[in-house]
Structure 1
Amino acid sequence: MDNNKNCKSLSISIDPEGGSNCAEERVAKNGEVRIEGGEKVCGSEDMRGNHNHTHTHTPSPCGGKESFGIEKGKGETGQRLNGKGRQRQKQKKLNRHMSLGTAFSIIKRETDLEPSSSLPRSYSMSKENYSMFRTHRQNSPMQGQTPNAQESELADNCPQLSNGQIPAGRYFDALKGPELDVLKDYEDILLPLDEKWPFLLRFPIGSFGICLGLSSQAILWKNLAKIPWLHFLHVAALRINMALWCLSLTALIVILFTYTLKCIFYLEAVRREYYHPVRVNFFFAPWIVCMFLTIGLPQSISEEVHPALWCIFMSPVFALELKIYGQWLSGGKRRLSKVANPSSHLSIVGNFVGALLAAQVGWKEHAMFFWSIGVSHYTVLFVTLYQRLPTSEALPQELHPVFFLFIAAPCTASVAWEKIHGKFDSVSRLAYFIAIFLYASLVVRVNFFRGFRFSVAWWAYTFPMTAASIATIRYSNTVDTTFTRGLAIVLSLISSTTVSTLFVTTLLHALVWHSLFPNDLAIAITHKRIKHKNKKEKPASIDLEHHTAPIKRSMELLRSGIKKQQARLFSWN
């Protein structure tokens, strides 16, 4: 142990530019390891020989650059080198304990990794990152594993990894696009960008839009089978209604089962989707689909609906409305003017669909209750979105398929009112005419909808077109003219063609291109934006005397001139 006297210290440093912390361990003469500001920890490694040196490497927990600390024997100058040999001199202290065994294990794990010279946009913690989204959270930001020194460091020194509720404004700051699913260039995420994430993490709540599109088509073909002037399509329409109903039921079961697994294994990801200003509205989708399937039930299965089904499907919708509408009313960070976006119409549509189903089972008072709630909140939402308030950051400047959600609420409202009162009266026509005008204003600008990246959430934008077709069929039954008949046929063909095209595109993305579910960047944003500390030159001090010297000279000349003029006046007097 005499040779150990020459080995004085072991330093572990991390470049402070990335906002990271540094730990420095002291190796005493007796082989003990001390951490500044902490208790001593016995070293488990034997430091022998003057020529042997030890270097340790600690990865940056906040995505910054990494550096190595090397200190040789007594009398030699310590060197601190990063992965490319640059000299790093600034260090910060980290209050934690790390044994030599932990340090050497980190070296062994990281020796094959080449430190990056640029600031990364994701945390390089390998596959352990995914555990932070798993269920059964402990006192560590990681889930499902025992906390260790690295995880404690992440929890204490990176507030970006905290598991609290993410504010709505944070989603607007970190994401862009009408669906708030595109990461901004200067933002970092918690998961790696260069590899495919687990399937459940990539499975979004927007997948229920597939069920919305298919189940609404089942209702459309059920209504087409009842049109008197289309009696030649009666048998074919009923068969198509049965096929679409079975297909949509199968899709609902598969998607619901998959998302339930996501809730079980990745609850944190589900929570982040619930706090997302756009995706929170898709939590209404499963229950709206269930009511669509009940309304579009084929006649060969049953012609009557039990009221208990309405109670089961409408209770979650009512609970979600109390939560979301309460946030709109009470203000704060999730007030309506802040989070309003076209997807918010899904929460409105749930009231009208519930009113339609309630009227079908014979509960007219319940139907009127939810219809009035839907109309009042649709009016406020429509005005908020139509004005394009500066605080409504989620509303895109360009047209997007999401705008078709504007026509969903008035269409379903007109059909629901007809079911409540038994005829397509002036109130139903008022809502229908508003929907048709909005539909026409979007169709004439169809060229503006090109060039957008396909998303599975596009399915949710197809059922408003189907709702417009159903409302037109009901209107044509009241106002039976050639124009209304032709309009009903044209709108039905457009909606069916759109759904068929999306169905084929979805199959191609899923089975051929394998790109249906890309990495869901929206759930992996940090709790706070990481501010990378870059070295900036201090501005040079301003020499006030130098800059004000010309002004002083001119003032002196002015004073001297005034004095000479006064002297001449006195001499003349």
Structure 2
Amino acid sequence: MKQKLQFFPVTIFSMVMGMTGLSILIGKFYHLQWLPYILYPISIYVASALFLTFLLLYGLKWIYYPAEVKNDFHHRIRINFFSAISISLLLISIDYYSFMPLLAVPLWWIGMLLHSFLLLKTIRFWIEHNFELQHFNPAWFIPVVGVILIPICGVDIAPPFLSYFYFSIGFFFWIILFVLFLYRAVFHVQLPEKFIPTFFILIAPPAVGFVSYMRITTSFDNFSLFLLFIGYFFLILLAFMVKNFMKLRFFVSWWAFTFPLSAISIASVAAYQITHMPFFEIISWILFFVTVATIGIVAWQTIVNMRIERICVEEE
């Protein structure tokens, strides 16, 4: 058991992101009376329990194996996944915002402050260390996605300028990192197999950006459509690449499939709530079933690989 704890991966918090994204999506469907109420609190409690369990286990790893946690925090790839902890907090605060707002507000403040700290630490790490182009992968987008999440509840909790501040940072770094990603993907060697699922992270910034922008401006305008349709474009592009994903061996990184699908589904539901256009209703239902099926498959594979002890092992 102690050996498993020693190699407990910080990347496991991407599972919380996926499950919390699904819970928010179920909440959206419930509020539109498309799903029964009972599924909403169940999904919230499952996501919350996962987060608390993983936080406890990683906390124990920090106590018993501080050197391993330090190695994670100074690893060129794993450092980006520490932001998944603060993102999980922010997503849980969004989840509770219409369910238990008195709990959502302190969770948002903790998530916002923690994510701000982790974002600055991560960017400083990028600047202070020598990176080659092959070190870049879509996991670098994770801190950026978290920044764009902050305004979703922040517009009601904190002064408006704070939401504009974080949205501006997220949008700025999304553009820069996307240029780097495109250059790396086209003109350099292919990503290792375990990082191929992180391609789905490309969907998240424009999808989350759409929801965040709508919350800040309360305006369904050309720029909001630009963000939404960029998200759809990446979704269609990845659908065309489906053969590349079907043949992959299982890694914890498979959970990178889940949150971006939830994010673009939530964005589609939000678009329907504003426009009441049948197009967005149909897209919402299609993406809902795709998201649920994907999370079901990834969760099952996670359980199977836990049973054969392929998770919580030493990584390269």
What TM-score do you get using the length of structure 1 for normalisation? Answer: 0.52
Structure with more relative contact order (C-alpha pairs < 8 Å, separation 6 or more): 2
Q: How big is each residue's C-alpha offset from its partner over 1:173-195, in whole Å with a ceiling of 9 and x where there is no partner? A: xxxxxxxxxxxxxxxxxxxxxxx
**Is 2:121 the partner of 1:323?**
yes
Q: 1:333 aligns to what?
A: 130
**Is 2:22 the partner of 1:243?**
no
Of 243, 246, 249, the match for 1:447:
243
Unaligned runs of 5+ in 2: none
Q: How big is each residue's C-alpha offset from its partner over 1:264-310, in whole Å with a ceiling of 9 and x where there is no partner? A: 111111122122222111101111111111111174x5246665433
Which of structures 1 and 2 has the bigger CA Rg?
1
Change (3 A) 1:271 1:458: same
| Bigger shift: residues 453-462 or 415-424 | 453-462
| Bigger shift: residues 487-496 or 289-298 | 289-298
**Is 2:7 the partner of 1:202?**
yes
Q: Is the 8 A contact 2:6 2:68 kept in 1?
A: yes
1:411 deviates by 0.6
| Structure 1: distance between partners of 2:129 and 2:78 | 19
1:361 deviates by 2.2
Q: How big is each residue's C-alpha offset from its partner over 1:526-573, in whole Å with a ceiling of 9 and x where there is no partner? A: xxxxxxxxxxxxxxxxxxxxxxxxxxxxxxxxxxxxxxxxxxxxxxxx
Report the AA paired with residue 315 of structure 1: L
Q: When you count helix as a share of all residues, which structure comes out higher?
A: 2
1:394 deviates by 7.7
Q: How big is each residue's C-alpha offset from its partner over 1:387-408, in whole Å with a ceiling of 9 and x where there is no partner? A: 1279976835999221100111
Q: Is the 8 A contact 2:155 2:163 kept in 1?
A: yes
**Is 2:22 the partner of 1:217?**
yes
| Structure 1: distance between partners of 2:138 and 2:252 | 16
Report the AA paired with residue 198 of structure 1: Q
Runs of 4+ more than 3 Å apart: 303-309, 389-399
| Structure 1: distance between partners of 2:101 and 2:219 | 20
Q: Is the 8 A contact 1:339 1:394 kept in 2?
A: no
Q: How big is each residue's C-alpha offset from its partner over 1:138-197, in whole Å with a ceiling of 9 and x where there is no partner? A: xxxxxxxxxxxxxxxxxxxxxxxxxxxxxxxxxxxxxxxxxxxxxxxxxxxxxxxxxx98
| Structure 2: distance between partners of 1:310 and 1:302 | 12
Q: 1:509 aligns to what?
A: 305
Q: Is the 8 A contact 1:221 1:240 kept in 2?
A: yes
Change (3 A) 1:241 1:358: same
Q: Is the 8 A contact 1:206 1:282 kept in 2?
A: yes
Q: How many residues align?
A: 316
Q: Is the 8 A contact 1:385 1:392 kept in 2?
A: no
Q: Is the 8 A contact 2:197 2:256 kept in 1?
A: no
Report the AA paired with residue 413 of structure 1: G
Q: 1:466 aligns to what?
A: 262
Change (3 A) 1:394 1:262: farther
Of 271, 279, 289, the match for 1:483:
279
Report the AA paired with residue 90 of structure 2: M
Secondary structure in 2 matching 1:478: helix
Q: 2:204 aligns to what?
A: 408
**Is 2:188 the partner of 1:361?**
no
Q: 1:310 aligns to what?
A: 108
| Structure 2: distance between partners of 1:326 and 1:298 | 32
Unaligned runs of 5+ in 1: 1-195, 523-573
Q: 1:296 aligns to what?
A: 95
Q: 1:351 aligns to what?
A: 147
Identity of counterpart residues, as a percentage? 25
| Bigger shift: residues 272-281 or 251-260 | 272-281
What TM-score do you get using the length of structure 2 for normalisation? Answer: 0.91
Change (3 A) 1:391 1:316: farther
Change (3 A) 1:471 1:344: same
Q: 1:521 aligns to what?
A: 315
Report the AA paired with residue 164 of structure 2: M
Q: 1:261 aligns to what?
A: 60
Q: 2:138 aligns to what?
A: 342
Q: How big is each residue's C-alpha offset from its partner over 1:372-392, in whole Å with a ceiling of 9 and x where there is no partner? A: 000111110000000127997
Q: Is the 8 A contact 1:506 1:516 kept in 2?
A: no
Q: 1:149 aligns to what?
A: none
Q: How big is each residue's C-alpha offset from its partner over 1:494-542, in whole Å with a ceiling of 9 and x where there is no partner? A: 01111122222222333xx3324152232xxxxxxxxxxxxxxxxxxxx
Q: Is the 8 A contact 2:272 2:278 kept in 1?
A: no
| Structure 1: distance between partners of 2:308 and 2:156 | 42
